[in-house]
């Protein structure tokens, strides 16, 4: 019996240390964009490959906001100054939930309470503190807010259309919680449980709707020249947020739409989603 237990333990150790491509444990599975990892606190992340895309509004210029222009080529090679040899990064498949926030921070600031709903009423400063505490709990991983460029790249998931599912305004309610199916209704005036709508091609939920999401960057003006790993200015007044919310009409839900506000701003339409790079 002792010999059997020893062999079993050795086998389990080999499985846990094997390459992720061969691992069948509950923490890893294959997704359309690569490896999907389930981390602590029930957080799930999907591997986002490095690549190049066109950032900014690709509709008729007169319909674009001025800060969405000019369109420009962005290449993401080593997001977040990763300490690893790979050029890829990971994006959380959902917005940070109230349950996840509560377990890390010990409180829930949200206006509409639902453990599986996205945390809201958080400032950029709150989001930064959440990331810092989570990194203390999970020292093997480098959690961060995504940069603005990473967010749009992940949202688009290879598309060049108005939304990551196409350009039909009428289809928006099929893919996200927005004003038409939330704020303007009699009984749905709140952010909803995450992952209730279809994900984009890379397995990310609620990139259009539910809550807008803080990014790492200070606001910057676009330039027409190609850029590599843009991170925004080193200082500023306003931090970027991306994505629309349950109170938004169609235009703020475009993949190219940009929002910003002060670091101490909070409202029931604003939350966050994390990204990370494993440490070598």
Share of the chain above pLDDT 90, in %: 73
- What is the overall mean pLDDT for the chain? 86
Task: Give the span between the Cα atoms of 188 and 237, in whole angstroms.
Answer: 34
What Cα–Cα distance (Å) separates residue 214 from each residue in 123, 179, 242?
8, 20, 6
Locate 32 and state its tokens: 């359309």
Q: What is the pLDDT of residues 23-45, one digit of tens each?
A: 334 434 444 445 556 556 889 99
Q: What is the mean pLDDT of residues 8-27?
A: 35
Q: How many CA atoms lie within 13 A of 149 on its CB side?
A: 27
Q: Can you give the pTM of this predicted structure?
A: 0.85
d(CA 119, CA 189): 15
If you write DSSP's letter for every residue of 27-53 in order, what string do you get? TEEEETTEEEEE-GGG-EEEEE--EEE
* Domains parsed from the chain with CATH numbers: 30-278 (3.90.1580.10)
pLDDT tens-digit map of 214-225:
999 999 999 999
Residue 266: pLDDT band with limits 50, 70, 90: very high
Instruction: Give residue 30's pLDDT.
Output: 40
Q: How far apart are CA 135 and CA 178, in angstroms?
A: 32
Q: What DSSP element (H or E) covers 218?
A: strand 212-218
**Cα–Cα distance for residue pair 53/149, rounded to 1 Å:** 9
Neighbouring residues of 77: CB distance < 8 A, sequence distance ≥ 6: 50, 87, 228, 229
Query: Residue 105 phi/psi, 5° resolution?
Result: -100, -20
């Amino acid at each position: 019996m002792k010999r059997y237990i020893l062999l079993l333990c050795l086998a389990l150790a080999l499985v846990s240390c094997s390459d992720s491509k061969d691992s069948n444990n509950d923490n890893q599975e294959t997704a359309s964009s690569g490896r999907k990892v389930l981390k602590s606190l029930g957080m799930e992340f999907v591997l986002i490959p490095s690549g190049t895309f066109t950032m900014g509004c690709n509709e008729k210029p007169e319909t674009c906001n001025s800060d969405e222009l000019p369109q420009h080529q962005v290449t993401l090679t080593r997001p977040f100054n990763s300490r690893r040899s790979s050029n890829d990064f990971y994006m959380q498949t959902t917005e940070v939930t109230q349950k996840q926030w509560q377990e890390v921070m010990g409180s829930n600031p949200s206006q509409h309470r639902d453990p599986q709903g996205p945390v809201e009423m958080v400032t950029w400063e709150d989001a930064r503190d959440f990331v810092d505490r989570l990194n203390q709990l999970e020292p093997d991983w480098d959690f961060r807010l995504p940069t603005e460029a990473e967010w749009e790249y992940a949202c688009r998931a290879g598309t060049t259309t108005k939304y990551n599912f196409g350009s039909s305004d009428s289809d928006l309610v099929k893919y996200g919680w927005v004003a038409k199916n939330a704020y303007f209704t009699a009984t749905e005036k709140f952010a909803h449980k995450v992952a209730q709508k279809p994900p984009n091609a890379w397995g990310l939920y609620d990139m259009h709707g539910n809550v807008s999401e803080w990014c790492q960057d200070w606001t910057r003006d676009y330039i027409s020249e190609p850029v590599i790993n843009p991170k925004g200015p080193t200082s500023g007044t306003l931090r970027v947020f991306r994505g629309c919310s349950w109170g938004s009409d169609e235009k703020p839900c475009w993949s190219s739409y940009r929002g910003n506000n002060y670091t101490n701003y909070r409202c029931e339409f604003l939350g966050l989603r994390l990204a990370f790079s494993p440490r070598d």
